[in-house]
A and B are shown apart, each in its own frame.
Chain A
Amino acid sequence: QQPVQSPQAVILREGEDAVINCSSSKALYSVHWYRQKHGEAPVFLMILLKGGEQKGHEKISASFNEKKQQSSLYLTASQLSYSGTYFCGTASTDSWGKLQFGAGTQVVVTP
């Protein structure tokens, strides 16, 4: 089942902060975050694993609430390069090995 992302879209000015949320009704063992710019392939941002391990880029921060099956991606002091569509992907214990992606959150950062 597809995770639910919110908001669907957000417009920021450079330097502002934003939070993108991802929630699932399933018990998760990993949450992935990717960013896709128009006409390009998705690019890895971060993985959060059950148990607390995280792997990702230093400038990106995210959290994973294992009890609530929710993850949040924090865009801090946004830059123009942060613009794009952000996808969360979730792997649940009842669909082992399948990464299900949310519908995406479109982020536009303006000068």
Chain B
Amino acid sequence: KAGVTQTPRYLIKTRGQQVTLSCSPISGHRSVSWYQQTPGQGLQFLFEYFSETQRNKGNFPGRFSGRQFSNSRSEMNVSTLELGDSALYLCASSLGAGTYNEQFFGPGTRLTVL
């Protein structure tokens, strides 16, 4: 069974630009969660999607948004990038709700904002 894939693996952007990250979950998994990982803040929950609906959202500004498609693939968008958005963005998929089930993490997208 193929694991969770994320594209691209690395991104370099400048302040003010926007970026879209993609996540393909494990086949059959309907839940996709997104996390931001930085050395100072650790793993921070961004949001969770289940069957194309955002079920939960973390404490991030509205510049961070996402969506999920009918095939469970998910995208995350960050608009008006700031230097502080530089981080590793991880997505994780699970069969059901992320807080009740094992989550499988993808390798992440390393975003650098200059």
Interface residues of chain A, those whose CB is within 8 Å of chain B, are 2, 29-30, 32, 34, 40-44, 47, 49, 55, 87, 89, 91, 96-104
B71 at the interface (CB under 8 A from A): no
Chain B residues contacting A97 (CB-CB under 8 Å) are: 48, 55-56, 97-99
Chain A residues contacting B58 (CB-CB under 8 Å) are: 98
Interface residues on B, range: 20 to 34
Chain B residues contacting A2 (CB-CB under 8 Å) are: 42
Bound: A32/B58 CA distance, A = 18
- Besides A32-B99, A41-B106, A104-B42, 6 more A-B contacts (Cβ < 8 Å) are A47-B102, A89-B43, A97-B98, A98-B45, A99-B98, A101-B35
Interchain pairs with CB closer than 8 A, number: 59
Chain B residues contacting A43 (CB-CB under 8 Å) are: 105
Nearest CB in chain B: distance from A28 CB, A: 10
- In the complex, which residue of chain B has the Cβ closest to the Cβ of A103? B42
**A29 with B105, Cβ < 8 A, contacts A42-B90, A99-B33, A99-B45 known:** no
Chain A residues contacting B98 (CB-CB under 8 Å) are: 97, 99
Chain A residues contacting B101 (CB-CB under 8 Å) are: 47
Bound: A104/B41 CA distance, A = 10
Chain B residues contacting A47 (CB-CB under 8 Å) are: 100-102
User: Quick one: which of B90, B104, B107 contacts A44, CB cutoff 8 A?
Assistant: B104
B103 at the interface (CB under 8 A from A): yes
Bound: A32/B45 CA distance, A = 14
Bound: A100/B98 CA distance, A = 11
B108 at the interface (CB under 8 A from A): yes
User: Quick one: which of B4, B100, B104, B108 contacts A49, CB cutoff 8 A?
Assistant: B100
